[in-house]
Each structure stands twice: as C-alpha cells, then as structure tokens.
Structure 1
Amino acid sequence: MYYIKEAAQLSGVSVKTLHHYDKLGLLSPLKSENGYRLYSEADLERLQIILFYKYLGFPLKEIAELLAQEGQDLLPHLLRQLQSLEQEKERLDILISTLRKTIQAQKGERKITTEEKFAGFTYEAHRSYHDQAVEKYGQAVVDEAIGRQAGQEEQVTAAFNRIFRNLANNLQQGLPAAAETNQEQAAQLLQTIRRYSFDCSLEIFAQIGRGYAANPEFKENIDQFGAGTARYTADVIAVYVQKQGE
C-alpha cells in the first residue's frame, strides 16, 4: 500500500490532483482509521489507465463513464489505448517525414510536391477532435471510425487531403460553391467519411460542414490548403446537402 505522497511521486501526479480524482469518484482508495488515503497496486493500475486517457485527450467525465462501463476489467481500456496510440504514432511519423522534406526543400536540397506538403494533415489530425466527435456523435460512432481506419491511415489521409486540395484550387479559380466540380467534391467527401469513418447522414454531414468553418481547430487545419478553404468547404457542403434534400 502507498500513502498519497508516495502515489503522487510514483505517478508524477500532484497530491491535489489525486484528491480531485477521489472527490470525483474516479479513483477512490481505501482510507485508514486516521483518514489517510492508502493506494493499492490495483489503484495505481487504475491511475495509469486514467493518465493514458488524459494523454489521449479524454475529459475526466468521459473517463469516469468509460471506467464504469468496464467495471474492474482494465484490459479493454489498455487495448483501446494501445490502438489509439499506435494510430497517433503513425500520424506523427507521417508529419515528421513531411516536416523533414519541407526543411530539405527550404534548404534547396530537394523539391517537394504540393501533395507531400500536406501529408499527415486531415480534418481530424488533432487529438482534441476526438472529444468533440464523441460529444457530437457518441462514443459508438467514434469507435466505429477508429475501427474502419485501422491499418489504412495513409489512405485516409490521402483521401481527405485530395478533396481539400481540389476545393482549395477551385476557390483560387473563383468557382462558386454550387459549381458542378465542387458538388462532385462534396459527394466524394461524404463518400469518404462513410467509407473510413461512419455511416454519415446528410444531417450530420451538414453539421460537419458547419464545423469546418466554426471550429477554430478545424478551420486552422483545413486553411493550410489555402486561406478561406474551410469556409469555402462549408459553403460547398451546405449547397450539396440542400440539393440532395430537394
């Protein structure tokens, strides 16, 4: 058994944070007769799970719900976290490669294509997107998306990048959102979401489109293809959804 200061030193978590976890019912160790918190090995294993989820961007409320669903069995959490971290590693490897190529291009050591500049960037490249996706669409939808993308991360990245790049080019050419080529890109985007993420309805697709322009992180990411691309994409999707609903 470990006193709270020992548990804090072992885990790198502050005593104040452990008190907070106990208050939330997230990690409640045994109490001695004099009121001291005593942490068992099982408590520390649970703390490890909590810290992994925090690193992956999960809010404490959702971590509590996930832990409650599985009861005392920690293995499903470990497997889920391993899968998420492995996917993140693959995305980071792509981004590191992209950054190295860009640095080499800036030094004049090589040329870099437009496609290579954006390798590794997708509309869900940030971990915090996970929280927003769960909040909007539910954990089951997000889990389905993760499962569909497993082992296909590069294909997913390329598919989304291709669409956003095409839309950015159309924006530069001054094409209206309702232009046929833009509506074709919207249809491809919806098909790509359905293939690699979840069975997206037109209503949810409309919400996603609005999020591209309204959410600062989505907007910043998509606008890397060209200033205004996020707003333009949102407009293209809005027209597409309206036409499909007619």
Structure 2
Amino acid sequence: MKVKEVADLVGISVRTLHHYDEIGLLIPEETTESGYRIYSDRDLETLQQILFFKELGFPLKKIKEIIDSPTFDRQEALEMHRNMLWEKRNRLDQMLATVDKTILDMKGEIKMSNKEKFEGFDFSHNPYEQEARERWGDKAVDESNAEINSMSQDEKKAFEDEFNAIYRDLAVIRHEAPESDAAQAGIEKWYHFLNRMGSYSLDAFKGLGQMYVDDERFTKNIDRFGDGLAVFMRDAMAVYADRHQK
C-alpha cells in the first residue's frame, strides 16, 4: 500500500507516516525508484502496535526502544495492551459515574460525600507497569502511564456480574490450601474467564497472580472481597500454572 492509502485506512495523516519514517520508527519495506513509500502487511502490523502504545501514553522515543528490542514479543505486547485498556476503561467508567453524580449533586437531587467527589481519580502507578518493566526494561516504561468499547451495556453488566461472582466464590474458600481441589477448581474458573477475553499463557497467568501481591493497588482491590484473597489467589494460580505446564 502507498502512504496515502495507509493514511486513509488508519485515519492518520501522511505527514505522521513520513515523520515515523524519518525517525526510524516505521520504515516501509520498499521505496520505489521514484521515491514512493510502499507498506507491507508486516509494516501495518507494526503500525498497529505503535498506535496501541501511543494510545496508552507511551512517547514515540520509548515506543521505538520497545519495538526495536531483540526481546520484543508482539503477542505479549498485545496482551499487555489489552490489560492496560481494561484498566483504562474501568477508570473512565468510574469517572463518568462521578461526573453524573456531581451533576445530580449540583442540581440538589443527591448529596455527595467528599470521598465520592473524587472516585475514579487515581494518580498511582499503572498496575501493569511492573510487568512492562520486567518484559521491556525500565527505560521503556519510565514515561508511560483492542478497542474494547464495542461491548454493549448488557454485555458489560454480564461480564461484571460474572467477574464479581468468581471473586466472591474464591473469597469463600480463601482459607483452603492453595493446592486443594476446591481452590484449584475455583482458580480454574478464573483462568478460563481471563482466556475468554484473550490469550493468557500459564506463565502469564502465574505472573499476574504475583502482581496481585506485589502491586498494592491490586491487593487493595482484591482484598475488598475478603482479607488475604490476593495472597490466596497468587498461590493458587502458581499451583495451577505449574500443574498444567506441559
């Protein structure tokens, strides 16, 4: 595809594509003798990756460092994008709810507490930052903070209900041994639930469980269902991953 065709397809300017070429971020596979840039399917895949990172706040310099890294894995990156987008979506949903309640408060229809006025604001680090650091290095995420919005309201509600039900069920058995049949049956439901959203390898599943404990924000949110749930899930997820490795 020529540069104008790519620009029209993606919805960005020709000037942007020229800039990406000039800084070595996206150099088309072929340039004709007359100077026309020709983009391959592989170039389009790279462009998609660049735009995902850009959407999540990564500066171009850092994006280049990531995708140029010999350890860069496109599937792992997409899994990271999905997780970050879910986090971003949940935060936006909370802020939208706060805006709606604030409007009602201004009209005198409800009375908000001071705490409610700031629900959805979160200036802590991104909960997936540690995983990004481990995969791509500190430099790649120092400045960083799938389109899933196609889900309907009914689908979203069903998703949230199932999500909460799994966590409530795990909270009930959190005092069981992580390797027990009950614990492993419960954590298997969580594994399959995650894999309906995308593709979680067993290693990624185990790593996610570790983040539940390493990241205070994860721990706080999970332990709302029951004290110690985050630690229980980490241990049960590790047992599950180790048992099912081929």
Using the TM superposition, give the Cα deviation of residue 116 of structure 1 relative to its aligned residue in structure 2, in angstroms.
0.9
Describe the superposition over 1:12-37 as per-residue Cα deviations: whole angstroms up to 9, x where unpaired: 12111111111111111111233211
Q: Match of 2:46?
A: 46
Instruction: Pick closer, same or farther for the CA change 1:25–1:122 going to 2, 3 Å.
Output: same
Residue 221 of structure 2 corresponds to 155
* Corresponding residue number in structure 1 for 2:5: 6
> Does the 8 Å CA contact 1:87/1:150 hold for their aligned counterparts?
no
Q: After TM superposition, give the deviation of residue 139 of structure 1 in Å.
A: 4.7
Q: Which runs of 4+ in 1 moved over 3 A?
A: 70-73, 137-145, 147-156
* Number of the residue aligned with 1:104: 104
Instruction: Give the 3 Å change call, closer, same or farther, for CA 121–42 of structure 1 in structure 2.
Output: same
Q: 1:138 to 1:42 in 2, by over 3 A?
A: closer
Local SS of the residue matching 2:69: helix
3-state secondary structure, aligned to 1:112: coil
Distance in 2, Cα, partners of 1:85 & 1:153: 19
Q: Cα offset for 1:153?
A: 8.9
Matched with 1:58 is 58
Write the distance in 2 (CA, Å) between the matches of 1:46 and 1:114: 45
1:75 aligns with 2:141: no
Q: For 1:125 and 1:108, how far apart are their aligned partners in 2?
A: 35
Match of 1:37 in 2: 37
> Which consecutive residues of structure 2, in runs of 5 or more, have no partner in the other structure?
146-206, 225-246
Q: TM-score, structure 2 length as denominator?
A: 0.51
Instruction: Go from structure 1 to structure 2 and tell me whether the alpha carbon gap of 1:125 and 1:65 turns closer, same or farther (over 3 Å shift).
Output: closer
Q: Flag the structure with higher helix content.
A: 1
CA RMSD of aligned residues (A): 3.5
The alpha carbon displacement at 1:60 in A equals 0.6
**Aligned match of 1:85:** 85
Q: 3-state DSSP class of the match of 1:35?
A: coil
**Distance across 2 between alignment mates of 1:107 and 1:125:** 34
Cα displacement (A) at 1:138 = 4.6
CA–CA separation in structure 1 for the residues paired with 2:90 and 2:219: 7
Aligned to 2:22: 23
Deviation at 1:119, TM superposition (A): 0.9
Paired letter, 2:98: T
Q: Residues 124, 17 of structure 1: CA spacing in aligned structure 2 closer, same or farther, 3 A cutoff?
A: same
Deviation at 1:41, TM superposition (A): 1.3
Deviations 1:24-77 (A, max 9, x none): 111111112332111111111111111111111111110001101256742122
For the Cα contact (< 8 Å) 1:98–1:120, is it kept in 2?
A: yes
Partner secondary structure for residue 51 of structure 1 = helix
TM-score by length of 1: 0.51
Distance 2:113 2:102 in 1: 10
CA distance in structure 2 between the aligned counterparts of 1:9 and 1:153, rounded to whole angstroms:
44
Deviation at 1:140, TM superposition (A): 7.0
Do the aligned partners of 1:8 and 1:18 also contact (CA within 8 Å) in 2?
A: yes
Partner residue, 1:114: 114
Q: Deviations over 1:147-174 (max 9, x none)?
A: 4559839739x9xxxxxxxxxxxxxxxx
Are the aligned partners of 2:62 and 2:139 in contact in 1 as well (CA < 8 Å)?
no
CA 82–151 in structure 1, closer or farther in 2 if over 3 Å, else same: farther
Q: C-alpha distance in 1, partners of 2:52/2:41?
A: 17
Structure 1 gaps of 5+ residues are: 159-246
Q: Percent identity?
A: 40
Query: Contact (CA 8 Å) 2:63, 2:140: kept in 1 or not?
Result: no
Letter in 1 for 2:218: Q
User: Which residue identity lines up with residue 5 of structure 1 in the other structure?
Assistant: K
SS of residue in 2 equivalent to 1:82: helix
One-letter code aligned to 1:13: I
CA gap of 1:9–1:140, structure 2 versus 1, over 3 A, is closer
Provide closer, same or farther for how the CA distance between residues 104 and 78 of structure 1 changes in structure 2, counting only shifts above 3 A.
Answer: same
Letter in 2 for 1:155: N
Q: Distance in 2 between matches of 1:4 and 1:71?
A: 29
